[in-house]
Structures are given as C-alpha cells and as structure tokens.
Amino acid sequence: MKDAIVEFFGNYAGIILFFHVFSAIFWVGGMMAIRLAVHPSLQHIEDKTIRLARTLEILKNFFSLVIPLIVVLIATAGTMAIGLGFKHGDPSLYMVVHVKEGIWTLMVVIFAIIYIKRNKAEKLFISGDIDGAGEILKPISTYLIPINIAFGMAALYFGGVLRGF
C-alpha cells in the first residue's frame, strides 16, 4: 500500500499539493470571511429572528462547501506525508508533520462542535426558541471560529515550513 501511495504521489504531486493548499485556504479563509466580514454585517439586522435565520443559513451553506474540502485536506495530507517520506527523513520535519496533524485534528474537533451547536440552534429556532438558539450560537462566533482561524493560520505556516519557504 505504501509503495502505491508513493508512486501515486510521485505521479500527481503538483495536483495533490494544489488540492491540499486550496482546501486549507478555503476552510481558513472562509472562516475569516464569516467572522470578520459576514458576522459584523449580520449584527446590523435589528430583527433577531431574521438575523438568526440568516446566520443559520450562512453556516449551513458554509458547511456544505467545507465538509468535502476537509475530507480532501485529510486525504491529501496523508498522501503527502507518505509520498514525501517524512517518516524516514529529517526528524525535525517529521515533527512538523505531527504538529500539523495535531492542529488539523483539533480543528476538525472544533468544527464538529460548531456543526453540532449549529444544528441544535436550528432545532430551537424552528421550535420558536429564538433566545435559546442565539445563546447556542454565541460561542461559535465568540470563541470557536476565532480559535480555528488561529489554528488554521499556524497550520498554514507549518505547511510553508515543510515546503521550505
């Protein structure tokens, strides 16, 4: 299996790297756009019901775009780690691979928490509990997305380290 992955990576390294970087930038950039541009704009909507409906819709649309990219990111990361032979190369670079794996794993866990919270908030919203839905969504914009943005920026940096910038 390892030999097949090494050969596959050798034949398609540029494409694999492109999809890996694209997925990471789309995920992190999307979170930045939502948190730094969309979220502040939504706060100008005075009607809480409309504001929450738009927030839930935006997150749902974002999730439908980013979930497949998270899968691509994980698949390309594994392919590159094996294909580039980090395990048998420079130990410090192999450590960076593990650091990146840890960061992306934490990001996926946080993403799952955001996903679950959004779905719970939607159920409350549909049942008419607007205040309850708002309370469940609050930590997403206040803590969870900013933490994932910071982790994502760190992972992008370490990706550059692995590529030798």
What was the pLDDT predicted at 149? 97
- Distance (Å, whole) CA 3 – CA 54: 48
pLDDT greater than 80 at residue 80: yes
Residue span of the structural domain in which 20 resides: 2-163
Total tally of structural domains belonging to the chain: 1
pTM confidence score: 0.89
pLDDT greater than 90 at residue 56: yes
Q: How far does CA 35 lie from the centroid of its chain?
A: 13
Q: What confidence tier does 165 reach under pLDDT thresholds 50, 70, 90?
A: low
pLDDT, mean of residues 29-45? 96
pLDDT in tens, 100-126: 999 999 999 999 999 999 999 999 999
pLDDT higher for 7 or 66? 66
Q: Name the H helices within the chain.
A: 2-33, 39-42, 48-83, 91-126, 130-139, 145-163
